[in-house]
Amino acid sequence: MTLTHPFFDADGDKLREECGIFGVIGVNDASAMTALGLHALQHRGQEAAGITSFDGREFYSRRGTGHVAENFSSSEAIRELPGHMAAGHVRYSTTGGAGLRNVQPLYADLASGGFAVAHNGNISNAIRLRQDLVRKGAIFQSTSDTEVIIHLVATSRYPTLLDRFVDALRLVEGAYSLICMTPEGMIACRDPLGIRPLVMGKIGDGFIFASETVALDVVGAEFLRQVEPGELVQVDFEGNVFSHRPFGQISARPCIFEHVYFSRPDSIFDRRSVYSVRKEIGAQLAIESPAEVDLVVPVPDSGVPAAIGYSQRSGIPFELGIIRSHYVGRTFIQPSDSQRHSGVKRKHNANRALVEGKKLVLIDDSIVRGTTSLKIVEMMREAGAKEVHMRIASPPTMHSCFYGVDTPERSKLLAAQMDVEAMRVFIKADSLAFVSIDGLYRAVGETGRNNTCPQYCDACFTGDYPTSLTDLADRESPPAQLPFPVNRVA
């Protein structure tokens, strides 16, 4: 997370969940299992990975830039991380946020012993808190907002670590799912609104926490339940599980974009199949915005389930009119503008024999800056498509996210600058339509959006932010120049 300009992928036109977390306690080869779990969460962060383990006496850490396989595929790497408890993290970097010092889990020696934390989310008052801590003498080793939590725990005056941890969390705003390791065991928790996901599983006598259920599937664990919003789950080395609710009962608002794009389709989020929800979003699109076309074509891979739903509801054949190359890495060297602009064709190519002379409706998950949609529409026309219509499986993305998603500043969001007709002209489509906000809510099993008390965090569509945005307010009206650089990294 960052308050400066974000780092985009090769297309520069996708929202990105910035991290995934995994933790296990009470199993042999905990680090090997953590590495496997992180593989399943690789889509949530591809810039860096880290694992910290505990063998009952000492904590061990290994962190590196790149994919999980680049850092943890060897037996030598796993041998460096002994113990029956381990936690791991995958992340995307943001501008100025790359480098090993920001790769998690972060570790510190506190008065009570070692403390390691892996964080998914964004602390929206981290700069304000950090400024106060620095004035009191705190020395930070990273530019991560996660380190603020460690300092707050370290400086709390409560007697037990759990009380100090709760005390720290009461001071932070924003979104967080956390997996923490201490000499006494593991603590997993979600913020009171449950914005970021976290689930709990069991394998043998051990327990697992992960950002998505797919990570439990991959390691062969049983899915028990989600960690509830505002819940802290403590697991000790005897296998005892304790649930704490220090924040009381608050109406949850999990991130609805997990259903649209972030989570893997084979995961369960907020008790619903992500794949089934995405198909239902496509069906809602077909009801709200039909198109007289010959073929329904997904923009792979994220548009596939919604396109299936659109096809099944409309009765229009589903075809793979765009073929995706799975061998284009995010680190592909692009020395010139012309090569950078050819990125879409390296990743997607029109299936000319199928689309030539046809009227198409393309299904994608979102439009951010519009550059990718423009290139894909142009590519289909060059391949001979007679008409190209675009349908989007989310409402227009009009606002930036401050809860753990890498979004451009609002001035670079196409929907914040143009109405739908102007966007259609920009991407050169014959027609353009987005699913309505109520249609999206119907797809996740609601009757519609409760405008008084929304069931999800949908701020990127509505601008209805569920928490205070202290750092944003300070940035727009800064009280004083900060004596240090800060880049949010989760």
- CATH code for the domain in which residue 331 is found: 3.40.50.2020
Give pLDDT tens digits for 228-285: 999 999 999 999 999 999 998 889 999 999 999 999 999 999 999 999 999 999 999 9
Give domain status of residue 349, yes or no: yes
Pairing of strands 48-54, 19-25: unpaired
State whether 218 and 284 are in the same domain.
no
Alpha-carbon span 264 to 277, nearest angstrom? 12
Low-confidence ranges of the chain (pLDDT < 70): 1-12, 15-17, 93-98, 328-345, 478-490
State whether 116 and 240 are in the same domain.
yes
Q: What angle do CA 383, 323, 309 make, to 5 degrees?
A: 100
Give domain status of residue 468, yes or no: no
Does residue 460 have an active-site annotation? no
Q: What angle do CA 481, 483, 489 make, to 5 degrees?
A: 100
Catalytic residue among 19, 189, 255, 457: 19
Token digits for 444?
């996740």
**CATH number of domain containing 27:** 3.60.20.10
Phi and psi at 345, nearest 5°, equal -70, -25
State whether 227 and 129 are in the same domain.
yes
The boundaries of the domain holding residue 453 are 277-458
pLDDT at residue 203, rounded to an integer: 98
State whether 167 and 309 are in the same domain.
no
- Pick from 253, 269, 294: which residue ends a domain? 253
In sign, the C-alpha dihedral spanning 90, 94, 97, 99 is positive
State whether 342 and 218 are in the same domain.
no
pLDDT at residue 478, rounded to an integer: 59
State whether 64 and 211 are in the same domain.
yes
HEC string of 390-457 equals: EEECCCCCCCCCCCCEECCCHHHCHHHHCCHHHHHHHHCCCEEEECCHHHHHHHCCCCCCCCCCCCCE
Give domain status of residue 489, yes or no: no
SS3 assignment, position 33: helix
pLDDT at residue 406, rounded to an integer: 74
State whether 233 and 282 are in the same domain.
no
Cis peptide before 205 (omega within 30 of 0): no
Count up the domains in the chain and report the number: 2
Using CA atoms, how far residue 452 sits from 23, 258, 460, 465, in Å, is: 36, 22, 17, 13
State whether 236 and 320 are in the same domain.
no
pLDDT at residue 417, rounded to an integer: 96
Quick one: how far is CA 301 from the chain centroid?
17
Give domain status of residue 11, yes or no: no
Percent of the chain exceeding pLDDT 70 equals: 89
State whether 226 and 287 are in the same domain.
no
Give pLDDT tens digits for 51-63: 999 999 999 999 9
State whether 237 and 283 are in the same domain.
no
In sign, the C-alpha dihedral spanning 284, 290, 296, 299 is negative
pLDDT at residue 488, rounded to an integer: 42
State whether 318 and 229 are in the same domain.
no
Alpha-carbon span 254 to 481, nearest angstrom? 34
